[in-house]
Amino acid sequence: MKLFSSMFRRAKRRNLVSDQSGVAAVEFALIGMGMFTMLSGAVDVTQAITIRRDLNRVTAEVAQVLAACKGAPGCAIPVMDSILARRANIAPKLGTVQIVMAYFTKDNNRVEEIGGYMTYLPTDVNADAMGRLENKDKGVAVVATYTHQPIILGLANDWGFTTKDFRSFKVVLSYRPPAP
């Protein structure tokens, strides 16, 4: 009996050492999962950077176009309507981008005479306007928002790594009255 058990142990050890057919599959599964996670993270981060860049570009360009109207409502409203009608051409990769625009006057450190597609300026946009403009200046504000759908939804949602809502704004001086 002792002889049989010792032979069995030796044979098992020999087979265990020489049989490596499943090791490669296990290594691939462990390493592949980590690599897939890193790849999906890199794709999501790259998309986030691209979306942020595109939103910043859109808001800056739309604000510059509106600033050319020099605060005149007769010019600004048709330009705003034209921009909204061509939203898909302005940001082709951001099909569901929402763009809101306004023209306004800063007077006594407050936003007055606001017009366009905003009834008020959000807090961060208002703070930027107060910092950039002097009293009696006319300015324009553009806010763009986009809700992103990640490519690999399951992994991102399971781990809570979704940054879905992107937002960008730009405030630009449109007209400064001449000094008295």
For the segment 9-51, what is each residue's pLDDT rounded down to a tens digit? 655 555 555 556 677 778 888 898 888 888 877 887 788 888 8
In a domain, 64, yes or no: yes
For the segment 142-179, what is each residue's pLDDT rounded down to a tens digit? 999 988 877 666 556 666 666 678 899 999 988 888 87
In sequence order, the 6+-apart residues with CB closer than 8 A to the CB of 157 are none
Range of the domain at 157: 2-175
pTM as predicted:
0.73
Number of domains in the chain: 1
In a domain, 180, yes or no: no
In a domain, 168, yes or no: yes
